[in-house]
A and B are shown apart, each in its own frame.
Chain A
Amino acid sequence: QGKFTLLCNTKTNGSFLVHHFLSFYLKAGCKVCFVALLQSFSHYNIIAQKLGVSLTAAKERGQLVFLEGLKSCFGVLFGEEQPGGQTSPFQWISKDGSNLKTMYEFVRTSLMPSASDSWKCPVLLVDELSVLLSLGVRPVDVLDFVHYCRVAVCSQLKGNVVVLVHSSDDSEDEENELVVKSLCHQSNLILWAEGLATGFCKDVHGQLKIIQKGSPKLRAERNLLRIYQYKIQDKNVTFFARGMSAAVL
């Protein structure tokens, strides 16, 4: 609890990790705020249903707060009024000089424990942060947003934050690299999904690097690194040691 997990993908699609965490936390009875910038609600709902969770039901129960970026951006850009006259979490997209503060406040209020609900630790999921950069947000603003989310969710509410970013070593997108590296410094756990260096393979879809930062209480402050290869199947993902794919053996 109180952990900040960074999901990274390089030359592959790491969204299977997001779907896993989403269904995992919902099954565990945590209150989840999901900031979905990449796909629509129905996309996530269909995949979650395959994994045995109904997002619609979770939303009705009040367990899941779903912020659909695709829809909300549209609403702000074309001047649709928010219900109740509130400012939209996506106010920044209209380029009126505001930062991501509105989005942070949305996250904070949606995860604030109220007296009526009895959900376990709050969780913030973001899919994915690199989209914000593409929408013209400055990297410092993105980092501020994540910083405040860490303050509110990890430090004050003792919950977890899971953030997906896109990264590639040889890209010349300096802004994105700055965000990724800063987040690497701040995170407790990094799951790094990489495509295989040798190219696409039918039976091995990529490899996952798990970097566990040493906790400050431990004597040996050392980053634990484990590497597995994985294959995404219909409903789950199989992990195996490198070179130990069933297709090879």
Chain B
Amino acid sequence: DTVDCEGRSLLKTFVAASVRRGESVHVFGFEIPEEEFRAGFDPDVAAQLLYQDGFTDPLCWNGKTGGFRVEEFSVLGVVTRLQRGPVGSATIILDSLSWLLLHRPVPALCQTLAQIPRAAANAGLDFCLRVTRIVVLLHGDLHPLGLVDTLHSLARAVVWVGPAPEGMRSKEDAHQLASMLQRKGSGQEEYFSILTGFTLKAFGEPTRNTPPADDICSPQVDTAAYLTFNLQLSDTERQARDRVPLPFHFSAQKKSSLLEASAGTGKIYYEPDATDDLDEEDPDDDLDV
């Protein structure tokens, strides 16, 4: 996401969907407090969340225990946390990866992300956890483009969230535009809005013949309505306009009138002044050219 359009609510819809599928959801939250993350979910969904609190004391400044520290974000540390949850399939949520990227070296982070599913599956004899997906929130405008591209190549699917153009937003409230980039397949764009309890409502793809950029520029009010003159043409007016001959249009009538004029004897009368010296060979002699 970017500053203009936050993607956390979309992240929460992923959480809600995973819980409804019956998976256990492990949230590693660094950016917002736990209550704020849990707010808005249905009570039964919120009860299912396993929140690892990386917000309160990630750097151990307060010296508290029990929270998730940023050093713990390694394969081993994460799996230890996962083991506290039930077995079965699980979804891991990172809120947000941007925060981690500022505090951890990038290569280590990428390796951790890639190794978590395998490590979780082989964690112990009696413990088998299938990590079905890892969903991370990334503030795309905080990082250099190269880094963002690197992370894209790690991911199986990338969803960009952006504000919907003005025209769409006026029709329905709360619109966001997501452009999906599946790694195997073409990108597609879709409008959506998020309903209560974090369910997603899609509004289909934007129509291609009106590019979104134009919609932003087009004014919302109908300026033609306030004009003192008429911009539209009725059918009778259009017919009348079509009957008017254009000045460059050469009709038979016009041709005859021109021919008549040439038939009459035109003559130029010229009376020279007393001071004029008329030079027959160069009539423009007095013109300083």
Contacts and interface: CB of A to CB of B under 8 A. Distances in A.
Interface of A: 101, 104-105, 139-140, 143-144, 147-148, 151, 154-155, 178, 181-182, 184-186, 213, 216-217, 219-223
Contact of B196 (A143, A147, A182, A219): A219
15 contacts: A144-B59, A155-B35, A155-B56, A181-B3, A181-B141, A182-B98, A182-B142, A185-B142, A186-B31, A216-B9, A216-B40, A217-B39, A217-B40, A220-B174, A223-B5
B284 interface: no
A222 B174 contact: yes
Contacts of A221: 6, 9, 174, 194
Given A105-B61, A213-B6, 11 more contacts: A139-B102, A154-B33, A181-B139, A185-B98, A185-B142, A186-B31, A217-B39, A219-B194, A220-B173, A221-B9, A223-B4
B31 A185 contact: yes
A179 to B, nearest CB: 10
Nearest to B143: A178
B160 interface: no
Contacts of B20: none
A148 B102 CA distance: 15
A185 B3 contact: yes
Contact of A151 (B33, B103, B193, B195): B33
Given A184-B3, A185-B3, A222-B174, A151 B55 contact: yes
A222 B175 CA distance: 8
Interface string B1-32: 00111101100100000000000000000011
Interface in B34-57: 35-36, 39-40, 55-57
Nearest to B12: A216
Contacts of A155: 33, 35, 55-56
A214 to B, nearest CB: 8
A185 B31 CA distance: 9
Which of B35, B142, B194 gathers most chain A CB within 10 Å?
A: B142
Nearest to A151: B56
Which of A139, A147, A178, A221 gathers most chain B CB within 10 Å?
A: A221
B167 to A, nearest CB: 16
A210 to B, nearest CB: 15
Contacts of A223: 4-6
Interface string B192-229: 01111000000000000000000000000000000000
A224 to B, nearest CB: 11
B103 to A, nearest CB: 7
Nearest to A101: B61
A216 B36 contact: yes
A151 B59 CA distance: 12
Contacts of B56: 151, 155
A216 B41 CA distance: 9
Contacts of B61: 101, 104-105, 148
